[in-house]
Amino acid sequence: MNNNDNDNKNQKETNIYKLTIPLFFEMLLGILVNNVDQFMLSGYSGEAVAAVGNASQICWILNLFLQVLATAALILLTQYIGAGKKQETEAIYPLALLLNIGIGIVITLVCIFGMKGILGLLNVEQGVTFEYAWCYMQIVGISFLCVAVSNCFSVFLKAHSHVKEATAIAITVNVLNVAGNAVALFLCHAGVAGVAVSTTLSRFIGTILIVLVFTIKQGKIRFGAIKQSNPVLLLRKMLWIGAPSVGENISYDASQLVIMAFINTMGLAAVNAKIYVCLVVQFAYLFTMSLTQAMQIVEGYHIGAGERDKAERCVWKTLRIGIISSFVMTVILFLCSDWVIGVFPSADEEVLRLAKQLLGVELVLEIGRAINMTMVRGLQVAGDVKFPVLMSVLFTWLLSVMLGYYVGIVLGYGVVGLWIAMASDEILRGLVLCFRFKKGKWKKIQLVS
């Protein structure tokens, strides 16, 4: 690996806002890539939207398993870079890559051979919707090996603050996906299958590009670096950090699958309202998400360099800005809900009515989400990885799922009742995590000596 000798100094001087802007555009385009299938299919049929909406939620869960080692690699890389430990840094690249490829192969096999059972567990409506969802996952499932590789190289680039390059790749992938969808839907009339092929091909090309960019910027990965380090120790650290870190996300998104199963029993209007609101509300927390990811990188540099007071100030400042940003954007979406949701051709009056109510609850929910995004990542980078997982399991399943079932189904408030329960989960869990970070137990944890 051809790292610059002054890498350590450059990383410590990295400004969080210089990282946030390109990360924002990278995530914006990433959201477009993930959701453009549903948007373009909204003019095709409501069943296609519901099918791909369910499939996309499954894809999100499966992608979290690929983030286990990628998240751990980012945390360790930033701290090793901040501490100036080159040998350990170079060993993490091949170790994380090989293990993630193994996980990607397993996920691909699950998509090919086990997807019908998963869709059945989600109560996906039998018939056209079920067949569309199964077809989409059969094709897109092949691309998870590409996702495994690109996730790793994206983290490798970000650890060295090369986020502008990642943005350029995201732009390319987005353009290719949109163009491919247009060809599939309007020229070939291939429907859901054509859109799935377009998504798969764009991911494949994106993977090739991100590997090439990393090679140009940092040099080739030396697989021999694994033998020159202590791979067992590094692997233990990666699993100790990564499994609980992504466990928090897996718990949350698994609960979302259960909630989606509840909503699937409420009719097509409730399903599409949920899908459309989830699509547009991503833009409310997009800046906060990019800001907290930039915070994660800079916080890792500070902790690796022993500058824990600077790391703490970085987290609290990020929290203030994130709450303001998410709330303001949600207010805009709520006030313009008829126009924003009306963009989708299959959004009828009932869908618009439900979406307006859900966005009203989002005014509270997004404040809690901003707190959780910041505090979870802040604690993870510092090595306090188990507590956020415990809180996620406790609050998410007690409030979002159990309370949501009671309010939404038993009391009959429907999808709005489920949303109220999720908002209470986000707010209460966020406050507990703030208290945990304020206590400062994370300051005593040492990941890198």
The share of the chain scoring above pLDDT 90, in percent, equals: 36
Which string of DSSP letters, residue by residue, matches 330-345? HHHHHHTHHHHHHTST
Q: Which amino acid is at 126?
A: Q
Q: 319-370 pLDDT, tens per residue?
A: 999 999 999 999 999 999 889 888 876 678 888 999 999 999 999 999 999 9
Tokens in use for 33?
């890539």
**pLDDT score for 158:** 87
| Cα 272 to Cα 35, 331, 355, distances in angstroms | 13, 21, 9
- Indicate whether 204 pLDDT > 80: yes
- Indicate whether 4 pLDDT > 60: no
Per the model's pLDDT, the better-predicted residue between 334 and 85 turns out to be 334
**pLDDT score for 30:** 66
Per the model's pLDDT, the better-predicted residue between 5 and 420 turns out to be 420
**Mean pLDDT in residue range 380-406:** 92
Task: List the single range of 42-56, 204-218, 298-312 with lowest mean pLDDT.
Answer: 42-56
DSSP state of 444: G
- Taking the mean position of all CA atoms in its chain, how far away is CA 365? 18
**pLDDT score for 369:** 96
**pLDDT score for 81:** 86
**pLDDT score for 288:** 95
Tokens in use for 114?
């086990």
Which residue's structure tokens are 């805009």?
Answer: 332
Q: 209-233 pLDDT, tens per residue?
A: 999 999 998 888 888 888 877 888 8
- Indicate whether 242 pLDDT > 50: yes
Q: Where are the domains of the chain?
A: 7-444
DSSP state of 124: P
Nearest in space to 392 (alpha carbons), one of 368, 367, 425 = 425
- Between CA 352 and CA 360 the distance in angstroms is 12
Task: List the single range of 87-96, 161-170, 420-429 with lowest mean pLDDT.
Answer: 161-170
- Between CA 308 and CA 299 the distance in angstroms is 8
CB neighbourhood size of 60 (10 A)? 14
**pLDDT score for 22:** 84
Residue 1 contacts residue 159 (beta carbons within 8 Å): no
**Mean pLDDT in residue range 139-158:** 90
User: Collapsing DSSP states into helix, strand and coil, what is residue 114?
Assistant: coil
**Mean pLDDT in residue range 299-317:** 91
- Between CA 186 and CA 224 the distance in angstroms is 49
**pLDDT score for 5:** 46
Which residue's structure tokens are 């233990």?
Answer: 236
Cα torsion 50, 344, 31, 360 to 10°: value is -90
- Taking the mean position of all CA atoms in its chain, how far away is CA 210? 18
Task: List the single range of 45-49, 71-75, 254-258, 326-330 with lowest mean pLDDT.
Answer: 45-49
**pLDDT score for 316:** 96
Tokens in use for 288?
């906060």
**pLDDT score for 86:** 83
**pLDDT score for 3:** 46
Q: Sign of dihedral through CA atoms 87, 90, 96, 97?
A: negative
- Indicate whether 11 pLDDT > 80: no
CB neighbourhood size of 224 (10 A)? 10
- Indicate whether 256 pLDDT > 90: no
Task: List the single range of 32-46, 95-109, 250-264 with lowest mean pLDDT.
Answer: 32-46
Please give the model's pTM, rounded to 2 decimal places.
0.77
**Mean pLDDT in residue range 231-238:** 84
Mean pLDDT of the chain: 86
pLDDT band at 78 (very low <50, low <70, confident <90, very high): confident
Could you write out the three-class secondary structure of the chain? Answer: CCCCCCHHHHHHCCCHHHHHHHHHHHHHHHHHHHHHHHHHHCCCCHHHHHHHHHHHHHHHHHHHHHHHHHHHHHHHHHHHHHHCCHHHHHHHHHHHHHHHHHHHHHHHHHHHHCHHHHHHHCCCCCCHHHHHHHHHHHHHHHHHHHHHHHHHHHHHHHHCCCHHHHHHHHHHHHHHHHHHHHHHHHHCCCHHHHHHHHHHHHHHHHHHHHHHHHHHHHCCCCHHHHCCCCHHHHHHHHHHHHHHHHHHHHHHHHHHHHHHHHHCCCCHHHHHHHHHHHHHHHHHHHHHHHHHHHHHHHHHHHHHCCCHHHHHHHHHHHHHHHHHHHHHHHHHHHHCHHHHHHCCCCCCHHHHHHHHHHHHHHHHHHHHHHHHHHHHHHHHHHCCCHHHHHHHHHHHHHHHHHHHHHHHHHCCCHHHHHHHHHHHHHHHHHHHHHHHHHHCHHHHCCCCC
Nearest in space to 72 (alpha carbons), one of 100, 111, 33 = 100
**pLDDT score for 178:** 84
| Cα 244 to Cα 40, 67, 342, 388, 436, distances in angstroms | 36, 11, 40, 8, 16
**pLDDT score for 246:** 66
**pLDDT score for 225:** 83
**Mean pLDDT in residue range 378-405:** 92
| Cα 285 to Cα 280, 321, 420, distances in angstroms | 10, 11, 18
Q: 27-39 pLDDT, tens per residue?
A: 777 676 666 666 6
Residue 353 contacts residue 213 (beta carbons within 8 Å): no
**pLDDT score for 102:** 92
Residue 213 contacts residue 165 (beta carbons within 8 Å): yes
The share of the chain scoring above pLDDT 70, in percent, equals: 92
**pLDDT score for 19:** 84
**Mean pLDDT in residue range 299-304:** 89
